[in-house]
Amino acid sequence: MQETSIILNRLRKNLKIRKNLIKSEGIEAYRLYEKDIPEYPYIIDIYKDYAVIYEKGKKIGEDDELNDLVYEHRTDIFAALGELLNIPENKIHLKERVKQSGKQQYEKIAKDKLSFAVKEGEMKFKVNLEDYLDTGLFLEHRPLRKIINQTSASKKVLNLFAYTGSFSVAAALGGGVVTTVDMSRTYLDWARDNFRINDITIKDHHFTQADAVNYIMNLVEKFDIIILDPPSFSNSKRMEDIFDVQRDHITLIEKLMSLLNPEGVLYFSNNLRSFKLDFLIREGFKIEDLTYKSIPKDFRDQKIHQCYKITQK
């Protein structure tokens, strides 16, 4: 009871703080809680009237005591989400790390719905909270989506490693013509779905299933805005070589800068905590560090990504 009130009180307090952001940005998806209390090392994201709980902070193990504690915490959090946001258990999705065993086997609750759309200002994004590790929408990139949305009018935009095309939607709704590139057919289809739910005419834009590195090496076409938000590492069968952002960003950025029109802008973001922008890039181009500006107010983790606006000197 005592424990329940600790997390309940914190979630209530956070929700009160989030209210302004939810209203001013017109958002339905946000981070409610991020390891604020050390004893509760979880992340809780809200997607409309659903929640996702990431149990990342916990060690996977056979440790029964630890598992018991996690189950106790889960019950507390479920109760708090029910009380504060009216979210029932079948709308809470767990991304769990704890090994399930014996009596602690948690019953898998049949989930309410597979995918649905959430609003972010004028934009809508399809999310799926259950079937993949990620939900289809990276909440951490909300500020950069806004920047892109507000600067894309009449621009030619290239979105590389596009995932479900959330930056592409931002650019297309902002008035740009967008080329969306990803290696995965599933995610490209998802990106097209995102265009459709935003009433964007698909045939006005381009979708390419390709290894982004290979794809750009053969490109000659010029763009006004390029978005480069690659994974830290990638080694799919469809690629000739593994991708390593620390190793490969120099070649990639140099090539992409040559594909920009004179006033063009490259937005480069990545999630590698140890990432260092190479001095050749710092020397060769004008760099604006957008990291702080591009981390949403509802995130506590100030190292979730590093983001740079790169232009010609």
Residue number, 98 or 144, with CB nearest to ligand SAM: 144
Residue number, 184 or 291, with CB nearest to ligand SAM: 184
- Footprint of ligand SAM on 221-250 (CB under 6 A): 229, 231, 234, 239, 243
Q: What six digits make up the tokens of 66?
A: 């630890």
Contacts with ligand SAM: how many residues (CB under 6 A)? 20
| Separation CA 159–CA 163 (nearest Å) | 9
Q: Is 51 exposed, middle or buried (0-12, 13-18, 19+ CB in 10 A)?
A: buried
Query: Candidates 18-26, 97-105, 146-154, 176-184 — which segment interacts with ligand SAM by CB under 6 A?
Result: 176-184
Residue number, 37 or 242, with CB nearest to ligand SAM: 242
For residue 162, which of 214, 217, 212 has the smallest C-alpha distance? 212
Angle at which helix 64-85 crosses helix 2-25, to 10 degrees, equals 50
Residue number, 73 or 145, with CB nearest to ligand SAM: 145
Nearest approach, Cβ of residue 7 and ligand SAM (Å): 30
CB 82 within 8 A of CB 88: yes
Report the residue from 4, 71, 132, 184 that binds ligand SAM according to the rule CB under 6 A: 184
Q: Is 227 exposed, middle or buried (0-12, 13-18, 19+ CB in 10 A)?
A: buried
Report the residue from 161, 195, 207, 308 that binds ligand SAM according to the rule CB under 6 A: 161
| Separation CA 297–CA 19 (nearest Å) | 12
Residue number, 128 or 166, with CB nearest to ligand SAM: 166
Query: Candidates 13-21, 71-79, 96-104, 177-185 — which segment interacts with ligand SAM by CB under 6 A?
Result: 177-185
| Separation CA 4–CA 77 (nearest Å) | 8
Nearest approach, Cβ of residue 242 and ligand SAM (Å): 9
Verify binding: residue 151, ligand SAM, rule CB under 6 A.
no
Q: Which residues, in sequence order, are bridge partners of residue 139?
A: none
Bridge pairing between strands 43-47 and 50-54: antiparallel
| Separation CA 264–CA 252 (nearest Å) | 16
Nearest approach, Cβ of residue 62 and ligand SAM (Å): 32
CB 260 within 8 A of CB 287: no
Residue number, 42 or 267, with CB nearest to ligand SAM: 267
Nearest approach, Cβ of residue 130 and ligand SAM (Å): 18
Residue number, 67 or 166, with CB nearest to ligand SAM: 166
Nearest approach, Cβ of residue 3 and ligand SAM (Å): 36
Residue number, 54 or 187, with CB nearest to ligand SAM: 187
- Footprint of ligand SAM on 189-218 (CB under 6 A): 211-213
- Footprint of ligand SAM on 84-143 (CB under 6 A): 138, 141
For residue 98, which of 133, 69, 78, 75 has the smallest C-alpha distance? 69
Q: Is 198 exposed, middle or buried (0-12, 13-18, 19+ CB in 10 A)?
A: middle
| Separation CA 110–CA 54 (nearest Å) | 18
Contacting positions for ligand SAM (CB under 6 A) = 138, 141, 161-164, 166-167, 182-184, 187, 211-213, 229, 231, 234, 239, 243
